[in-house]
Amino acid sequence: MIPEFGQLALALALCLALVQGIVPLVGAALGRVEWMALARPAAAGQFVFVAIAFGVLVYAFLSDDFSVLFVAQHSNSALPVFYKATAAWGGHEGSMLLWIAVLAVWTMAVAAGSRSQPQEFASRVLGVLGIVSAGVIAFAFITSNPFTRLVPTPADGNDLNPLLQDPGMIFHPPTLYVGYVGMAVPFAFAVAALLTGRLDKDWARWTRPWTIVAWLFLTAGITLGSWWAYYELGWGGWWFWDPVENSSFMPWLMATALLHSLAVTERRGIFKSWTVLLAIAAFSLSLLGTFLTRAGVLISVHAFASDPTRGLFILGLLGLFSGGGLLLYAVRARHLEAEGGFKVMSRETFLLANNILLVIGAFVVLLGTLAPLIIEALGLGKISVGPPYFNLMFLLPTLPLVALIGVGMHTGWRTMPGDALVRRLRMPAIAAVVVGVIVPFVFFETASVLTVLAVSIALWVCVSSLLDPARRIVFRTGAPMTRGQVGMCLAHFGVGVFMLGATVASAYNFERDFSARPGEQIEAGGYEFVFNGVREVQGPNFVAAEGDIELRSDGELLSLLKPQVRTYQVQTQPMTEAAIDTNLARDVFVALGEPLGNDAWSIRLRVKPLITFLWLGAGLMALGGLVAITDRRYRVAARQTDRSPAQTAAGTA
Amino acid sequence: MKSRTQRKLFIVFVLAGITLAGYLTYRALQENMLYFFSPTQVAAGEAPQRTFRLGGMVVDGSLKREPGTLNVSFVVTDNVHSVPVKYDQLLPDLFREGAGAVIIGRLNDNGEFVGEQVLAKHDENYMPPEVADALEKARAAQGQ
């Protein structure tokens, strides 16, 4: 009976989402206060029923209810309890329910945080979120119901894909979804602004914190995914330009552009149309990402089951939401008037350049991701686009983008005399370039022009981001920094650290496969590896061949690496568990292959210098976002616009 | 104050920039496109001399290893024609005889396909759509 309760809860959630979507929007159009007031209770009700549905699914997993098809396909009674719970999003149906649940949480947060905003506006925002939610719940209900029963009930389940039996599975998908789905919030704010005809500095101040939160989760989610693929799945790289990776990266690029465009709209009341378009584009790319991942139209490491009806349904939703948004924009955009102008030499210009370069980057990735679909649709053959395309084409807008960060940060709003800027940045820039040229040669002996350029730019951003904080902390001069400014410096410093890691790890990556007999010593990548053979070990639901490899440098033992090849009992596919020795300067990565005969085993060795900087940099970006949303002005702004201050105590959480 | 000529010049520059960027993007895309060919297409001599993707089923019992080395050879088939493949790196976890595989590489003078990368990262029930399609086409062609 219990799974049917889940289904019923989902159906009720759909009804409430429709109420939340339709009644407040109509009420706002007709000026009916009591209709508008329905938005919050409907959202709360929807949240409760979605939570029940999600709870029921998790319960079905925990209680090994294999009469539910989705549970039977993705769980097994021998699966550790931890993974039983996370298996709830280990497949298509469950992850759509997670999508819905995350949107419900966002909706509740917006409902609570928008109490200080005019009712007409807030109810339109919640209304748009309700429509989005209704669309996605209908999708789940019609094409991917997680509560479908399986008759007859099997004795045991098919088990969770071994790749997903990993702590990364607990954090990566939910974090990514919070960011991904969160793009619906700036979209709803943009649509509400177009409907209301009010798009001013206040609007930007309301929208910006939500966008930052979504962005920082997206940043963290993508980083966790990349880290997971690298450390746990043993794929050995951190980014593959896989369609599924791209489909989370494109919304990230758009969200980053949106953040910067919102900064201009908030401060100066300009770039309004552009901001609205970016908000629509970011959410559209999130939906496109859902389509690419869920419809299985592209060849991908993530390739889930493919089902044309699902694809068509998501395409329909994509058409409805982005088409609707763009149509509204076309009708209403001429009401958006710039409230001021700016000179060429000003922060506005740099932020405009940032936006253009980010959009170019997103477009290049989009083109490479969709090219196989387009070419196949034209009947020109089946192709795939190799990573070299992405590496080259994405680098072209990224290098100037990152280089300009360092300048733009120190430029004033409206206008700034060029000579003052030059005087301020001359020494740091020269220092960054000199160090950037010297360092690669000192540590790695060789360097290409591109490496020197990228390292210089990375160091330049790091130095430039620290100028203001250093002046403030060390010399105690200059104005106190707001949390927003601290966050910005932190995030930009993170960009530099990330780029340093990415450049060095790619340029000086050592990677080779070897065959080794027990007792054999291999010299590779500046280290000695002593292979001591392989023994069998028993895990909870797998058996593994475990290699024993000494990592030595000039004869001195650094660590003992134990890579495994696991064979899971239910799904018999083998799984590589790499062993990694990490420190700040480099990672040494060892993966065990298979027996080659004559006692020999194949071994994959990699040395990746500075790769830790990559995760660190991405983490700093997300942390910068976190610091920025604690800025006083978002709380103050919420209180100022409110009629009764007492009401907002819990408002801006 | 911008004069008319200045504005025209500006527009010309922007258009030229966009055209150049578009052309370069197109070139980069084209150079990195990897076309897919089935064993039947390779047998018919349709496959190019440059790098491409070959896909099909790995023939049961065809996987041979030079003892103690990484060098392996196996045969990929679409049940009508087959292509011998050589490879000298670690095979991915999900590579199995009797299952589908896609290999990136190029043909050598002996008609062998020298692999640079074997793709089999998906789960074991999953068949690369291109391989499924190639098998289907080969079956249809044989039936005629």
Nearest to A268 by CA among A455, A476, A413, A104: A413
The alpha-helical segments, DSSP class H, found in A409-524 are: 418-444, 449-473, 483-507
What is the spatial distance between Cα A95 and Cα A277, in angstroms, rounded to a whole number?
28
Q: Cβ B90–A604 below 8 Å, yes or no?
A: yes
Q: Cβ B93–A575 below 8 Å, yes or no?
A: yes
Angle between helices A184-196 and A308-332 (to 10 degrees): 40
Mean pLDDT, rounded, for A283-303: 73
Contacts of residue B33 in chain A, CB cutoff 8 Å? 371, 375, 383-386
Residues facing residue B73 across a β-bridge: B64, B86
Tell me whether strands B52-58 and B33-37 are parallel, antiparallel or unpaired: parallel
Instruction: Give the Cβ contact number of residue A80 at 10 Å.
Output: 12
What is the spatial distance between Cα A467 and Cα A486, in angstroms, rounded to a whole number?
11
The residue with greater pLDDT, A64 or A234, is A64
> Cis peptide before A162, with omega less than 30 degrees from 0?
no
Q: Cβ B94–A513 below 8 Å, yes or no?
A: no
pLDDT-wise least confident of A144-153, A228-237, A283-292, B4-13: A228-237
Identify residue A535 by its one-letter amino acid code: R
Structure-block tokens of residue B18? 């966009």
DSSP structural state of residue A445:
S
What is the spatial distance between Cα B35 and Cα B48, in angstroms, rounded to a whole number?
9
pLDDT at A645 over 70: no
What is the spatial distance between Cα A16 and Cα A260, in angstroms, rounded to a whole number?
35
Residue A138 binned pLDDT confidence (cut-offs 50, 70, 90): very high
pTM flag (> 0.80): yes
Distance between A296 CA and the closest CA of chain B, angstroms = 9
Nearest to B53 among A306, A384, A573 (CB): A384
Phi-psi map region of B75: left, alpha, beta (phi>0 left; psi -120 to 50 alpha): beta
What is the spatial distance between Cα A607 and Cα A617, in angstroms, rounded to a whole number?
20
Distance between B26 CA and the closest CA of chain A, angstroms = 10
pLDDT at A13 over 90: yes
Contacts of A119 (CB under 8 A, 6+ apart): A33, A36, A37
- Beta-carbon contacts below 8 Å between A and B: 97
Q: Cβ B36–A600 below 8 Å, yes or no?
A: no
Structure-block tokens of residue A435? 């160090």
* Percentage of the residues of chain A whose pLDDT score is greater than 70: 94
What is the spatial distance between Cα B53 and Cα A524, in angstroms, rounded to a whole number?
31
* Superfamily (CATH H level) for B36-143: Nucleic acid-binding proteins (2.40.50.140)
**pLDDT score at A635:** 76
**What is residue B134's three-state secondary structure?**
helix
Distance between A222 CA and the closest CA of chain B, angstroms = 19
Q: Are residues A419 and A446 in contact, defined by beta-carbon separation less than 8 angstroms?
A: no
Q: Cβ A393–B129 below 8 Å, yes or no?
A: no
What is the spatial distance between Cα A376 and Cα A368, in angstroms, rounded to a whole number?
13
Angle, alpha carbons A623-A227-A524 (nearest 5°): 125
**What is residue B136's three-state secondary structure?**
helix
Q: What is the CA radius of gyration of chain B?
A: 22
C-alpha separations of A172 from A106, A179, A226, A236, A627 in Å: 18, 11, 9, 18, 22
Q: Are residues A568 and A157 in contact, defined by beta-carbon separation less than 8 angstroms?
A: no
Q: What is the mean pLDDT of chain A?
A: 89
* Residue A268 contacts B where some CB pair is shorter than 8 Å: no
Residue A311 binned pLDDT confidence (cut-offs 50, 70, 90): confident
* Residue A379 contacts B where some CB pair is shorter than 8 Å: no
**What is residue A23's three-state secondary structure?**
helix
Nearest CA in chain B to A361: B25
Q: Are residues A176 and A218 in contact, defined by beta-carbon separation less than 8 angstroms?
A: yes
Structure-block tokens of residue A530? 């002593």
Q: Cβ B35–A382 below 8 Å, yes or no?
A: yes
* Residue B30 contacts A where some CB pair is shorter than 8 Å: no
**What is residue A565's three-state secondary structure?**
strand
- Residue given tokens 């044989």 in the structure block: B142
**Domain spans in chain B, listed from the N-terminal domain onward:** 1-33, 36-143
Q: How far is CA A534 from the centre of its chain?
A: 38
Note the pLDDT tens digit of each residue in B54-78. 988 899 999 998 888 889 999 999 8
Angle, alpha carbons A542-A548-A551 (nearest 5°): 135
pLDDT at B1 over 50: no
What is the spatial distance between Cα A638 and Cα A113, in angstroms, rounded to a whole number?
9
DSSP structural state of residue A149:
B
Note the pLDDT tens digit of each residue in A433-462. 999 999 888 888 888 999 999 999 999 999
What is the spatial distance between Cα A215 and Cα A213, in angstroms, rounded to a whole number?
5
pLDDT at A627 over 60: yes
* Residue B35 contacts A where some CB pair is shorter than 8 Å: yes
**Domain spans in chain A, listed from the N-terminal domain onward:** 1-165, 203-317+327-407, 408-508+614-620, 510-611
What is the spatial distance between Cα A322 and Cα A191, in angstroms, rounded to a whole number?
10
pLDDT at A335 over 90: no
Nearest to A600 among B36, B68, B121 (CB): B68
**What is residue A653's three-state secondary structure?**
coil
